[in-house]
Amino acid sequence: MKKKILLSGFEAFGGLSTNPTMDIIARTRDWELPNVELHTIILPVVYDECADLLIKEIDKHNPDVVISLGVAVGRAAITPERIGINIQDTAGEGKSGDNRGFHPKDKPIDETGPVGLFSTLPIRKITEDLLEKGIPAQISNSAGTYICNNTLYSILHYIKRNELSIKAGFIHVPASPEMVTNKPQLPSMSIELQTEAVKTIIESIVQ
């Protein structure tokens, strides 16, 4: 039987016109994954909406696995996240808030939620499978305190609260080359290699 996978990316932010995760998702149309039924969605970079929209898709498709993708400018490798934490914070990072201008500081995502929730994706296997293919990868122990962490924590919390058997997690990808042409000291990864990485991750999970 086919595995149902829900794959999310994010819309552009920070004054850019695109986001590498949008480009990756656009290319999933070309994939042939015989054992996978793939659903995709692009989420808004808005604290209050990103998780809600993803949860709607979960309710609609009832997937086996949810993989959320986000870009981490400054990172050089594909980084499966280990943990989502119960905090929203854009202070002290020179960040200008989300795409609605919301600018939280040391604020819990859920006042009554647990401090942290572990990704339920096989992050070690994913990382090893990526490295075997020659794709730089490393487990990350912090998804930050911005929209990416917010999405990760919220989804894991929703699944836990509702005792669903869905596996879920978050994968950070590097900037695309286009994003760093005016900051040429920053690392990047081509969309082709990022796309291959995401395909590898899905195969790693399905196997």
Can residue 120 be called a binding residue for a copy of itself (CB under 8 A)? no
Compute the distance between CA of residue 127 and CA of residue 197 in angstroms, rounded to an integer: 10
Q: For residue 88, give the DSSP letter.
A: B
| Closest alpha carbon to 27 in 57, 7, 56, 49 | 7
- Classify burial at 58, counting beta carbons within 10 Å of its beta carbon; exposed 0-12, middle 13-18, buried 19 or more: buried
Is 148 in the active site? yes
Can residue 134 be called a binding residue for a copy of itself (CB under 8 A)? yes
Can residue 106 be called a binding residue for a copy of itself (CB under 8 A)? yes
Can residue 15 be called a binding residue for a copy of itself (CB under 8 A)? no
Can residue 109 be called a binding residue for a copy of itself (CB under 8 A)? no
| Closest alpha carbon to 136 in 79, 83, 175 | 79
Catalytic residue among 117, 148, 156, 197: 148
Residues that bind a copy of itself (CB under 8 A): 76-77, 79, 82-83, 85-87, 89, 91-92, 94, 105-106, 114-118, 124, 127, 131, 134-139, 141-142, 144-145, 177-178, 180-182, 184-190, 192-193
